[in-house]
Amino acid sequence: MCNCKLQLELVDISNSHTDFKSKLDLLETGDWVFLMQCPECEQLWKVDEWDKYQQSYAVKISAKESWEEFDSTALIKAKIIENHDGLTSAECLWSGCTVKQVKGSAYCVNHLWSTGARA
């Protein structure tokens, strides 16, 4: 049974990658991503390839056109902040940066992202 409408726009599928994909139809394969579609409601998903060293996400998208270029960076950065329970009042320790640190880190979300953090 389809639960796409109940899913958030960005879904962390790191621990359920195979199960998540098994409920969808593969439409196209890109560079480390898949365009998939729910056979019941026809919701389109841009699904990351599984990587044991990195978080994998599925993102709801609205169109097949240019699906590989859909940028989920802002959604993932918001998820990083959420996963760390927000921001501190301290500034990022990256030289010259005045953006607030992500809790549990010395860096802001932008500099965490630049180091490869995705969770």
58 strand-pairing partners: 11, 47
Write the CB contacts of 96 (distance below 8 Å, at least 6 apart in sequence): none
Average pLDDT estimate for 6-15: 96
Mean pLDDT of the region 73-97: 97
* Residue 79 to residues 3, 4, 43, 84, 103, Cα–Cα distance (Å): 21, 19, 21, 9, 13
pLDDT value of position 51: 85
The residue ranges of every structural domain in the chain are: 6-69, 73-114
**What Å distances lie between residue 60 and 11, 27, 43, 50, CA to CA?**
9, 14, 7, 17
Task: Give the model's confidence band at 1: pLDDT under 50 very low, under 70 low, under 90 confident, else very high.
Answer: confident
pLDDT tens sequence across 30-81: 999 999 999 999 999 999 999 888 899 999 999 999 999 999 999 999 999 9
